[in-house]
Structure 1
Amino acid sequence: MKTTFQKLLFYTSFLICFTVLAQKKSERELILIDKDWRFSFGHLYDTKKDFGHAEGYFSYLTKTGFGDGPAAKDFDDRAWRKLDLPHDWAVEQPFSESASFSHGFKAAGKNYPEKSIGWYRKKITIPNEDLGRIISLKFDGVFRNSKVFFNGFYLGTHESGYNGFEYDVTAYVNYGGENTIVVRVDASMEEGWFYEGAGIYRHVYLQKTNPIHVVANGTYVTSELKNNDADVIAAVTIENKGNFKGAIEITQTVFDSNNKQVALGSENVLAPEFYQKANYSSKLYIKKPLLWDLDSPNLYHLQTQIKQDGKVIDNYETSFGIRSIELNPEKGFFLNGKQVKLKGTNNHQDHAGIGTAVPDEIQYYRIKKLKEMGSNAYRCSHHPPTPELLDACDKLGMLVIDETRLMGINDYHLNDLQQMMERDRNHPSIFCWSVGNEEWQIEGGITGERITQVMQHFAKSIDPTRPVTVGISSGFKSGISSVVEIMGYNYLGNGDIDAHRNQFKNQPGMGTEEGSTFATRGIYFTDDVKHYQSAYDKKPRPTFYSIEEGWKFYAERPYLAGMFIWTGFDYRGEPTPYGWPSVTSYFGMMDVCGFPKDNVFYLKSWWGKEPVLHLLPHWNWSGKEGQEIDVWAYSNCDEVELFLNKKSLGKKKMELNGHLEWKVKYVAGTLEAIGYKNGKKVLMEIQKTTGNPEAVKLSLDKENQPNSKVSVITVEVTDKKGLHVPTADNEITFDIKGGKILGVGNGNPTSLENDQFIDDLEMVSIMNLQEQKGNTTDLSLKSNYNENEWITAFKDRNYKNQAPSYIYKGNFELKSVSDKNQVHFFYKKIGIAAEVYINGNKINPSAEDLQKYVLDAKILKQGNNSIYIITTPLQKIKDWDVMNTDPGIIQVITPAESWKRKLFNGYAQIIIQKDENAKEVVLSASAKGLRAGSFKN
């Protein structure tokens, strides 16, 4: 036993060494580690199907470092699927009528125990030079209930599927060698009532810092405008995980968007004590700052540096904007002193074809789509978003309500709120925090009041610069409604908004949800049999309001800051007013791909700044000749005149925030509208009857990020004149070179087509493993063996007195055998030297991996196959050594069929990603009887 003095001496020496080594490599590194993970499904309750995890005598909870099964550092995962993050395994699953209505009937979750647990593994090398630094793993979001292991050491459990988290792995690192990251994800429990995906669906990073460093989300930048200048307060929290005691210098520098220095502050302070944190702040002055605004989203960045003996040991970057916000009970919302009507949408975080594993570029694509519609505000419904969404809102000029997932007053609830706010509070786009949504159990009573007051005061302690709201839907009279700082009205039909406002005249308010209208893109006659809802704007229910009715109500009331429509985009789940086989919502102004429904043009007319004229419906109505068709015009012109085949059907004046209607008897030809402002023609819109589909057309959506690796491509067909055919439903097949396809979609709420086409990977176990002793070290297979000598393999093995060799035999079952399949045997060492025979044929190992065997279809059989492994035995070094008794696994890969998707009412969408080293990506699209199309980028 070491004496106390010896222990202290050793500990002090270690810390000094730790600190000295840390100085060799100082500034922080943040390394994206999304590439090259291994993935496999486990099982919710069957430990055998969960790779034997948590079966060990000592579990990871009883003894440190005892992660077992896939959590073990040296677990053999070679047969697992290779993939890159972000990854959503739910979107890969087929649809099932017995699956969750809320989650879009995807066959995943607690009713599918074989698809509710996902294992992820990745190996990384950390060099010797990093010894002395703090090494951390940072996860932006895992859905959900994740357990993380590092080199077999259990790091912790994080339940929320929406907040990020990080773990310090410094003590567990194998410096100069290989390290294993393992994540077990349990997505069996639903956290919301909408599609949430499953898996590591956001980014993962490896972070390296000096022991003295800025903590995670450790800066907080606030500003105050004074005339034309600004005072900026830059607060920072620093932690010391080393043994250094003494002075450090903190330097705070502000740069503008051109990277020009505009402010500088510096102070000398004492470093925090060992494993302690300390807060510091600097007051910086910026002369005539460029304000963050909707049309000019100017951004600055703060560089926080920690210096020790004049040397930079940590560098932390923070993006921020300078602007003022106010929610006034009489006049609504003000940004930089100017009144702004909030024109918002609610949105979940999934997208067609890719689920919740949304590439960063698609975040920008979706915000650009909303901006194009005229929207200026976004509500994160109903959970913290991915950081990249907020980055997009910052850079593109979109106001945000940031919302936590669940109301409550204990650590579970308040910690989630705090994590969200500390992560997000430097984003200038965020103007309001939401601490709850439609909590019907507590909305109207004293419990709701108490919880709201706690969460509201707690939020103010973290960020006093922004107000707090809650979305209320069960009446606007008492409970939460009477105490919340900013009243969030969810739907006009749920209460008397004017009456509530007259009772609480000092309480600002806004419509946090409005609409919930039903519409299917490109459909103009409701068909309940097909689950199609007409796209004309109408009341979804007798007590609810159309989009137009809702906007008129809020537009006419200056005391209401604005409204947020439910929703900007359709999403998986909640296929109200239907059920199976509808799998997506009908609420969106756009479908799940982002293709606009007609309501987009109503909003664009009255939310946007440009002249708008949109005519609906299309003019392909074969079989309805002579029948009256409702023709609507959405426009912000003063007047609109409608023509059918050059004959005027009348000119009508446009009402503010309204639309125009005509009844038109159908005849093929041209429907034309002309818009007038101040008596002059300013716009023309045409709907033509088209011919039959002739050619496939691919085009790059204008909302794509320039020079992006990820691109959104619109797929359509045209007639012989090149006109888009709005009723086309052709099935399009795709081929790609120089890249890969991430997902396909078409906006059809009843489509049960695959979102993704990925190879099927099956792992087949070797069964009935038996053994016989060999008399020599000859590893050749004999033609026959004494059947009476076969015994259960490894049973009662005397490792101190083993035979010169052992012959093992087993069998495995193959469902089918095809030349298209790739079949591999991943041998796990049960002997020193080994020879492998399949159905009597000797198999040689592959050159790339001497324990991997490629099995030719010619030697395989459908049904039962035999395997013989002849080895010289492994020897125990220590009596307590655990010897491997698993001979390995058979991996069967069945290649996926070609990517394909049917058009829905004329459109489909495909998302592609260019390979890193490819000069160009070429996408080809073909359909039976049509001229093929192609796209190059």
Structure 2
Amino acid sequence: MTLIDKDWRFSFGHLYDTQKDFNHATGYFSYLTKTGFGDGPAAQNFDDRAWRKVDLPHDWAVEQSFSEKGSFSHGFKTAGKGFPEKSIGWYRKKINITESDKGQIISLKFDGVFRNSKVFFNGFYLGTEESGYNGFEYDVTAYVNYGGENTIVVRVDASMEEGWFYEGAGIYRHVYLQKANPIHVVTNGTYVTSEIQNDSAEVTAQVKIENKGNYKEGIEITQSILDAEGKQIATTSEKTAAPDFYKTANYTSKFKVKNPLLWDLEKPNLYRLITEIKQEGKSIDRYETTFGIRTINFDAEKGFFLNGKPVKLKGTNNHQDHAGIGTALPDELQYYRIKKLKEMGSNAYRCSHHPPTPELLDACDKLGMLVIDETRLMGINDYHLNDLKRMIERDRNHPSIFCWSVGNEEWNIEGGIVGERITNVMQGFAKTIDPTRPVTVGISSGFKSGISSVVEIMGYNYLGNGDIDAHRNQFKQQPGMGTEEGSTFATRGIYFDDEAKHYKSAYDKKPRPSFYSIEEGWKFYAERSYLAGMFIWTGFDYRGEPTPYGWPSVTSYFGMMDVCGFPKDNVFYLKSWWGNTPVLHIMPHWNWGGMEDKEIDVWVHSNCDEVELFLNKKSLGKKKMELNSHLEWKVKYASGTLEAIGYKNGKKVVSETKKTTGIAENIKLTVDKENISNANVSVVTVETTDKKGLHVPTANPEITFSIKGGKILGVGNGNPTSLEKDQFIDNVELVAITNFEEKKLASANASQLSSDNDNSWKEAFKDRDYKNQAPAYVYRGKFELSNNLKTNAVNFFYKKIGIDAVVFVNGNKIAPSTEDNQKYVLNSNVLNQGTNTIQIIAPPLQKVKDWDVMNTDPGIIQVITPAESWKRKLFNGFAQIIIQKDENAAEVVLSATANGLNTGTLIKK
């Protein structure tokens, strides 16, 4: 399997204007009428040279500006719903497949495209995938041009939203080219389970094998288990008959693993199952499956157990976007985000509300994070059950997953018989695919009837929405957990509400009558052993749902961390009671110039027995910490040092200070410790310090960035009302040639413009008699240029309408470029602001067959407007920049500048 994320071409189409959608699906025969008749960009020979180059994963929504007319759900980005010119995206990629690959099964594997994607290969329509969250695969074997070039085309329609949260747009997950023997393990075709008995584990490995060839003899299936060091610890082999042509067959192997290293939260031990298919003694297919050995169990009285030990679920809900990059997360960011949650003390993650990327689950497997995996929509027909089946079959070997969720807050059906029926079907259906894990549904419209009565694991969404204790007393055999809880509002680094600025204070307060603070929520679940734990809404802020506000707020306020992963103060409350190490955190900062002698609420989050607070070395008193609580002082502001000392068993164990800082003088760049070492993608924290090197928590300067040896992927700062750009990329505009006319020439050798302006011009190619053409034609047309001619790069990509063409722009003869003889670079000295004239002289193309379709499109004008420099304001002292090192670079150098500040530089090898 080969990753093919690099070097795609991208352009916007149009939702309903077929001309702006490159005349796709307008041919006499459409791609649904006759096989291989993909037209417009779906055609193999379509000219995409003027399109923008992109690498995957790619989210075109995050690249757009903000507008009040944009979708509330999608963070007011000017893409998708309501923006027909930014709702259709076309992707094209050319790949070579060798002659030696004949006899292999060639397929394309997509991990996810948002959304409603149509895929073509060499002009052949492969299929449509409506959901933006499903992985899918297409067999292209029959359509391959072996020994030559092949074209992959994807049309993405992101005009409709699936969720009510930011979902991005485009091919935002990985794409692979797969080559396999006709007899092979199907994608997601293994299923590994285990039972632990005393000091050993019995591992059962099921494998589904497919035969897309005519081989009818016997095969041998060999399976081996490797430990983390790659040492083989068990193996088995079976000779059997191959499946029939285009049929599948299932095979089962059993292993004994002595003294297995169990997968758990602290030591997430993993094994690998290697499945090989042999034909006449020769290996023809190899499939690798990562798995873990562990036990899970819910108890209606005592909660959740992992490997026989009680584990209180300390979870968070999360969407899949991140500051600066939207949904197009590099793999390294998945690990970064899970590490941030682990550092907070979290041990569980709910995929809200759709199947995640495979890489997120890999990160949870490797780092030790339990997962609720959730399907997108409830229902009992193929659309719903097939989505559920694909999710479970793809993900069921991940030891991190301990529960399947088949729905979330389906208010229309939660409380009635329809909800019961659907849940019973989906729950039973899930068990046929994976009987080892329970099923849950997140429920928010009361906990009295309907889904609540039949779901295996009760998912309570918000204790304010019903009487949890009463429901539990009615259904004492039904385990339960808080699938969503908390739902508070906070803006990082803000300590007074400011309704005009849409800022919410970071003090943990009850946000509204039916919702509870983070502390209130955790206390409720922590005190009840029958509740397995809770999942906070949310771990990270996300785009969209800027509740309780609207425009110009563009991100949520719910997160324990902001969209960058910078912690809000609630992180330290949770770290105190979810973690095992001493914690001491003072809030707020201590820069309150102008508020001298006014009382400031000072809170301390800690898990110490007692905490003493000092202001400028004067004790403000020692207080005893209650379990799962925090401490508060009223402190009259005076500049200087606020210090807290934490005691356990009467002994000082930890201290923390907040100091009044000087003005910002320096820019500091730091690679976050949660980054994977030696990774190509790094998350960099940007901040300012005073002359003593202290972080300035109130600084908000605009920082400008430059980079060598790499590229910048995105910038952010966690400000929920920031309308700054996430990405600074060159703008590629395609300008059509209009009013295209022609005039016959008497000589095929003509190469000079005639100065006459007679009436012999007519619409180009109209009623052309291809059997009686002139020796040559001169064509003319117009194109419009709006601004910035000197800074823009303007190119004419000629599409062949004749032989040996000669091109003139505004009367100036233009030579073709050396890199491409059908590309013409148009320098600013030959261009006009506004209307420009292009003329082409060429002998005509001749039809070989009467039914040949002749090209009548002269080409396209490409205008590249260079991007501004990358920049971002700090927000309450912080910003974030995500960088990627070039593949062949020895190091990447990031520089940051701002007026009045010393430059910051970061060098990463």
Amino acid at match of 2:904: G
Cα contact 1:589–1:600 (8 A) shared by 2: yes
The whole-number CA distance in structure 2 between the counterparts of 1:579 and 1:588 is 17
> For 1:330, what is the secondary structure of its paired residue?
coil
Could you give the per-residue CA deviations for residues 484-516 of structure 1, whole angstroms, max 9, x where no partner exists? 000000001000111101100000000000000
Cα contact 1:693–1:717 (8 A) shared by 2: yes
1:327 and 2:293 matched: no
Cα contact 1:238–1:272 (8 A) shared by 2: yes
Q: 2:10 aligns with which of 17, 25, 39?
A: 39
Q: CA deviation at 1:817?
A: 4.3
Name the CA shift for 1:556/1:817 in 2 (closer, same or farther; >3 Å). Answer: closer
The whole-number CA distance in structure 1 between the counterparts of 2:394 and 2:701 is 46
Please list, as runs of the form range in 1=range in 2, the aligned pairs for 1:431-470 lying within 5 A after superposition: 431-470=402-441
Cα contact 1:693–1:718 (8 A) shared by 2: yes
Amino acid at match of 1:260: K
Cα contact 2:789–2:833 (8 A) shared by 1: no
1:614 and 2:551 matched: no
1:849 and 2:823 matched: no
Q: 1:237 aligns with which of 184, 208, 213?
A: 208
Q: CA deviation at 1:707?
A: 0.4
1:791 and 2:752 matched: no
> For 1:873, what is the secondary structure of its paired residue?
coil
> For 1:789, what is the secondary structure of its paired residue?
coil
Aligned to 1:20: none
1:642 and 2:613 matched: yes
Aligned to 2:69: 98
The whole-number CA distance in structure 2 between the counterparts of 1:868 and 1:631 is 74
Could you give the per-residue CA deviations for residues 261-314 of structure 1, whole angstroms, max 9, x where no partner exists? 011011011000000000000011101110000000000000000000000000
The whole-number CA distance in structure 2 between the counterparts of 1:691 and 1:635 is 28
1:926 and 2:897 matched: yes
Aligned to 1:72: 43
Could you give the per-residue CA deviations for residues 632-673 of structure 1, whole angstroms, max 9, x where no partner exists? 000000000000011000000000111000000111111000
The whole-number CA distance in structure 1 between the counterparts of 2:589 and 2:752 is 73
Q: 1:625 aligns with which of 596, 601, 604?
A: 596
Could you give the per-residue CA deviations for residues 357-410 of structure 1, whole angstroms, max 9, x where no partner exists? 000000000000000000000000000000000000000000000000000000
Aligned to 1:23: none
Aligned to 2:146: 175
Aligned to 1:755: 726
Aligned to 1:251: 222
Aligned to 1:136: 107
Aligned to 2:736: 765
1:429 and 2:403 matched: no
The whole-number CA distance in structure 2 between the counterparts of 1:338 and 1:786 is 90
Could you give the per-residue CA deviations for residues 788-840 of structure 1, whole angstroms, max 9, x where no partner exists? 11111111111111111110011111002422110000000000111000111
1:367 and 2:355 matched: no
Cα contact 2:406–2:426 (8 A) shared by 1: yes
Could you give the per-residue CA deviations for residues 398-432 of structure 1, whole angstroms, max 9, x where no partner exists? 00000000000000000000000000000000000
Q: What is the Cα-based RMSD across aligned positions, in Å?
A: 0.6
The whole-number CA distance in structure 2 between the counterparts of 1:198 and 1:776 is 52
1:51 and 2:22 matched: yes
Q: 2:670 aligns with which of 699, 704, 709?
A: 699
1:552 and 2:519 matched: no
Q: 1:519 aligns with which of 490, 503, 507?
A: 490
Aligned to 1:721: 692
The whole-number CA distance in structure 1 between the counterparts of 2:578 and 2:199 is 29
Cα contact 1:772–1:808 (8 A) shared by 2: yes
Amino acid at match of 2:559: G
The whole-number CA distance in structure 2 between the counterparts of 1:810 and 1:495 is 69
1:820 and 2:823 matched: no
Cα contact 1:162–1:385 (8 A) shared by 2: yes
Q: CA deviation at 1:540?
A: 1.0
> For 1:498, what is the secondary structure of its paired residue?
helix
Aligned to 1:605: 576
Could you give the per-residue CA deviations for residues 489-546 of structure 1, whole angstroms, max 9, x where no partner exists? 0001000111101100000000000000000000000111110000000111122211
The whole-number CA distance in structure 2 between the counterparts of 1:543 and 1:283 is 52
Moved more, 344-353 or 763-772: 763-772
* Aligned-pair identity (%): 80
The whole-number CA distance in structure 1 between the counterparts of 2:244 and 2:233 is 33
> For 2:388, what is the secondary structure of its paired residue?
helix
Cα contact 2:324–2:714 (8 A) shared by 1: yes
Could you give the per-residue CA deviations for residues 189-216 of structure 1, whole angstroms, max 9, x where no partner exists? 0000000000000000000000000011
Please list, as runs of the form range in 1=range in 2, the aligned pairs for 1:504-903 lying within 5 A after superposition: 504-903=475-874
Amino acid at match of 1:738: G
The whole-number CA distance in structure 1 between the counterparts of 2:154 and 2:474 is 52
Cα contact 1:835–1:871 (8 A) shared by 2: yes
The whole-number CA distance in structure 2 between the counterparts of 1:516 and 1:110 is 27
Q: CA deviation at 1:343?
A: 0.2
Aligned to 1:6: none
Amino acid at match of 2:277: I
> For 1:527, what is the secondary structure of its paired residue?
coil
> For 1:92, what is the secondary structure of its paired residue?
coil
Cα contact 1:346–1:379 (8 A) shared by 2: yes
The whole-number CA distance in structure 1 between the counterparts of 2:805 and 2:61 is 40
1:293 and 2:264 matched: yes
Aligned to 1:186: 157
The whole-number CA distance in structure 1 between the counterparts of 2:819 and 2:515 is 65
Aligned to 1:935: 906
The whole-number CA distance in structure 2 between the counterparts of 1:932 and 1:459 is 56
Q: CA deviation at 1:786?
A: 4.4
> For 1:565, what is the secondary structure of its paired residue?
strand
Aligned to 1:348: 319
> For 2:883, what is the secondary structure of its paired residue?
strand
Aligned to 1:27: none
TM-score (norm 2): 1.00
> For 1:618, what is the secondary structure of its paired residue?
coil
> For 1:419, what is the secondary structure of its paired residue?
helix
Cα contact 1:254–1:300 (8 A) shared by 2: yes
Cα contact 1:779–1:834 (8 A) shared by 2: no
Q: CA deviation at 1:246?
A: 1.4
Aligned to 2:248: 277
1:267 and 2:246 matched: no
The whole-number CA distance in structure 2 between the counterparts of 1:816 and 1:622 is 47
The whole-number CA distance in structure 1 between the counterparts of 2:237 and 2:369 is 33
The whole-number CA distance in structure 2 between the counterparts of 1:783 and 1:698 is 62
Q: CA deviation at 1:137?
A: 0.1
The whole-number CA distance in structure 2 between the counterparts of 1:248 and 1:783 is 75
Q: CA deviation at 1:785?
A: 2.4
Unmatched runs of 5 consecutive residues or more in structure 1: 1-29
The whole-number CA distance in structure 2 between the counterparts of 1:795 and 1:661 is 82
Cα contact 1:817–1:860 (8 A) shared by 2: no
Cα contact 1:779–1:835 (8 A) shared by 2: no
The whole-number CA distance in structure 1 between the counterparts of 2:98 and 2:131 is 32
Aligned to 1:13: none
The whole-number CA distance in structure 1 between the counterparts of 2:503 and 2:766 is 63
